[in-house]
């Protein structure tokens, strides 16, 4: 730390320090992305020059059908369902993928468990992993081999080792009531957990799996949360307020005023490349789009199906996938034009969570 009090540090010195810190963060992000690419590409294509684009990115979308107790799989190259629905637990809620290990983790709200799907074979592997009561949100940290599960009925977060699919350590008590959504920031080593009934967000250090600081006050009934690692932001949907709160993930403080969106915002996902956040408005049957550079809503809300809940972005193909709970469908949005493309994709009953998976495929020779 500088021996000089802050008021005696010149503006030029402060500006230099800010620039240096920003460059260091971007350098760390580059290292992270390079490490992931190094790990993924040899396994995906032993002879990369012979691999097609489709071979390296055989994308699949995993859709949780809470009313059917299954997971539907959509081929994002064709936007069609492939195979038969995968049976999981009772009232499955949300899903997160670990693309490096080829796994999808599905929370089973009424089973107190997490089902693990092999995304290369689209079959359940092993027995369900027991977690806390009423698990809802789940997020993975691929770099640290962990999955974080928010158990609303236990006011805690369970941590799963994604190499062994076993719970590690004791549940993390988050200090809020009914933890609901969770998102990770791999670069900063943090997990952000919305406490639905407390109107707060708790922050977990994913290196130590301990809570850091006090819960961050946001709006009424916070549900979804998504991070933009590049810009150092977390976006939180406040279902009871009809707004989105923005958290600076470098300081873990709220920045600016809440962003007004539609009625009953629930899900949120970011597209870091295009600088956008997509928010599902369950009560408005629309999706709002936020410019993450200005934190302003852009354009008119996008009409989708009946009571949209989950949302996932496919940055590579420029697509956004939205689950419509009461329509039993998935809507597809072109993220370059923010318009719906094609017809809604039929899935199972009451689709909720959705996540993009990229199973590794061998190259064509």
- pLDDT tens-digit series, residues 241-295: 999 999 999 999 999 999 999 999 999 999 999 999 999 999 999 999 999 999 9
- 110: tokens are 């009424």
Contact 117, 123 (CB under 8 A): yes
Which pLDDT score, from 0 to 100, does residue 48 have?
A: 28
CATH number of 50-357: 2.130.10.10
Which pLDDT score, from 0 to 100, does residue 359 have?
A: 52
The full set of domain ranges for the chain reads 10-44, 50-357
Q: Sign of the CA dihedral 60, 62, 63, 67?
A: positive
Task: Identify which of 195, 221, 191 has the alpha carbon closest to the alpha carbon of residue 206.
Answer: 191
Query: What residues contact 354, with CB distance under 8 A and at least 6 apart?
Result: 61, 62, 63, 64, 95, 310, 311, 312, 321, 322, 323, 330
Q: How many whole angstroms from its chain centre is CA 305?
A: 21
Contact 274, 256 (CB under 8 A): no
Which pLDDT score, from 0 to 100, does residue 40 have?
A: 37
Distance (Å, rounded) from C-alpha 56 to C-alpha 58?
A: 6
SS3 154: helix
Q: What is the mean pLDDT for each group of 10 consecutive residues in the chain (365 residues)?
A: 32 40 44 40 30 47 98 96 97 96 97 97 97 98 97 98 98 98 98 98 98 98 98 98 98 98 98 97 98 98 98 95 98 98 98 84 38
């Amino acid at each position: 730390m500088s021996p000089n009090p802050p008021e005696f540090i010149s503006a030029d010195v402060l500006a230099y320090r800010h620039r240096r810190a920003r460059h260091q963060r971007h350098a760390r992000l580059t290292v992270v992305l390079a490490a992931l690419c190094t790990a993924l590409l040899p396994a995906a294509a032993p002879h990369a020059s012979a691999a097609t684009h489709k071979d390296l990115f055989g994308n699949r979308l995993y859709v949780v059908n809470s009313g059917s107790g299954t997971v539907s799989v959509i081929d994002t190259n064709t936007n069609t369902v492939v195979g038969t629905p995968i049976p999981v637990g009772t009232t499955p809620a949300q899903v997160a993928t670990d693309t490096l290990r080829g796994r999808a983790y599905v929370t089973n709200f009424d089973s107190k468990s997490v089902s693990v799907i092999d995304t290369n074979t689209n079959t359940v592997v092993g027995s369900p992993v027991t977690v806390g009561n009423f698990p809802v949100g789940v997020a993975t940290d691929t770099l640290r081999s962990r999955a974080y599960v928010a158990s609303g009925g236990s006011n805690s977060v369970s941590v799963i080792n994604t190499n062994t699919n076993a719970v590690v350590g004791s549940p993390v008590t988050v200090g809020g009531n009914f933890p609901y959504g969770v998102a990770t920031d791999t670069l900063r080593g943090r997990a952000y957990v919305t406490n639905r009934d407390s109107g707060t967000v708790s922050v977990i250090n994913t290196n130590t799996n301990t809570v850091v600081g006090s819960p961050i006050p946001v709006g009424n009934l916070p549900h979804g949360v998504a991070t933009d690692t590049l810009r150092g932001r977390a976006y939180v949907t406040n279902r009871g307020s009809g707004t989105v709160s923005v958290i600076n993930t470098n300081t873990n403080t709220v920045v600016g005023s809440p962003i007004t969106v539609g009625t009953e915002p629930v899900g949120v996902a970011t597209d870091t490349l295009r600088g956008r956040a997509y928010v599902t408005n369950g009560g408005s049957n629309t999706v709002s789009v936020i410019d993450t550079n200005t934190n302003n809503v852009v354009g008119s809300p996008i009409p989708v199906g009946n009571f949209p809940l989950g949302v996932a972005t496919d940055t590579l193909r420029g697509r956004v996938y939205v689950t419509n709970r009461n329509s039993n469908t998935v809507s597809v949005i072109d993220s370059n034009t923010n318009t719906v493309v094609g017809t809604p994709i039929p899935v199972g009953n009451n689709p909720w969570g959705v996540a993009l998976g990229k199973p590794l495929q061998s190259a064509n020779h």
